[in-house]
Structure 1
Amino acid sequence: MAENADKYTYRVTWSEEDAEHVGLCVEFPSLSWLAASPEAALKGIRKLVAEVVCDMAENGEQVPEPLSTKHFSGKFMVRVPPEVHRQLAMEAAEAHVSLNRLASAKLSQ
């Protein structure tokens, strides 16, 4: 199961507060790893995630599915206030496109 740890989504960023690089994993938001270099932060968070995945598997816990292996349908619902819905519908009509196409274009920007 630890081999799946390589399929998770990792990111390294600078933490001004800690004055170090911090390694993060999207699928495990409670985990982080601080290090002096970005390479060490990435290595640390990957090792930590692999250990946590092994522990979870050994204890029969549900291990998060990596985002990289999930299937996304391309559909999701967003609720907006009626005034926003009306404004978007008018904007789509004026542009001669569907509301869906207008929203997709705005989200892609």
Structure 2
Amino acid sequence: MSTTTMIDTARYSFRVTWSAEDEEFVATCVEFPSLSWLASTPEAALMGLRELVDEVVADMRETGEDIPEPLSTRHYSGKFQLRLGEDLHRRLAIEAAEQHVSLNQYVTRKLAAAP
């Protein structure tokens, strides 16, 4: 992404979970996997990390580094290639045929149903 493009850091993919090891909530950001923030409440963890991400993005902008585009604003074509072994390919093709759907439809349904 261009360093001159303004990034709305609120659009990054934040997550807050409980850390049993730290006995605190930990906030993480998918686009910045090396950053995290610990706090006693989920709200404080998220607020701390959002402020840190704002600072990091500002520093990156000042030094001319490429700033990650938020996953939420990226364009996805809906296509990707997958390499798999011949045996698995055959098994999936058979299962798709048994359900009277294309291999693509069958695999898409399986992926959508995965936990």
TM-score w.r.t. the length of structure 2 is: 0.91
Give 1:35's aligned residue: 39
Deviations 1:24-58 (A, max 9, x none): 00100000000000000000110000000000000
Which runs of no fewer than 5 residues in structure 1 stay unpaired?
Answer: none
TM-score, normalised with respect to structure 1: 0.96
1:97 matched to 2:101: yes
Corresponding position: 1:26 with 2:59: no
Structure 2 regions of 5+ residues with no counterpart?
A: none
Superposed displacement of residue 2, structure 1: 7.0
Residue 77 of structure 1 deviates from its aligned partner by 1.2
Structure 1 stretches (4+) deviating beyond 3 angstroms? none
Q: Confirm or deny: 8 A CA contact 1:2 1:53 kept in the other structure.
A: no
Match in the other structure for 1:81 = 85
**In structure 2, distance between residues paired with 1:61 and 1:3:** 13
Alignment partner, residue 70 of structure 1: 74
Greater helix fraction, Structure 1 or Structure 2: 1
How many residues in Structure 1 have an aligned counterpart in Structure 2? Answer: 109
* Alpha-carbon RMSD: 1.2
Q: Secondary structure at the match of 2:67?
A: coil
Identity level (%): 60
